[in-house]
């Protein structure tokens, strides 16, 4: 499991995932579905 701290427009977010990278296409699609399309990791 990996933990990522994201800073999005709505505030900080902690993401726990089994993916190896925050840049994984599946992770980005899930974030976009939740309205998070721009962030700093």
Query: Which range marks the domain in which residue 36 is found?
Result: 2-40
Instruction: Spell out the residues 6+ positions from residue 3 whose beta carbon is closer than 8 angstroms to its own.
Output: 14, 15, 16
pLDDT range class, residue 41, cuts 50, 70, 90: confident
pLDDT range class, residue 39, cuts 50, 70, 90: very high
Count up the domains in the chain and report the number: 1
Phi then psi dihedrals of residue 14, to 5 deg: -105, 125
Q: Residue 34: what pLDDT?
A: 93
User: Locate tokens 């900080």: which residue?
Assistant: 12
**Predicted confidence (pLDDT) at residue 10 exceeds the cutoff of 90:** no
Residue of 3, 12, 5 lying closest to 41 (CA atoms)? 5
d(CA 35, CA 18): 21
Q: Residue 18: what pLDDT?
A: 95
d(CA 28, CA 11): 17
């Amino acid at each position: 499991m990996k933990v990522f701290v994201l800073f999005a427009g709505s505030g900080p977010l902690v993401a726990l995932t089994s993916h190896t990278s925050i840049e994984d296409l599946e992770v980005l699609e899930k974030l976009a579905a939740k309205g998070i399309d721009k962030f700093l990791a």
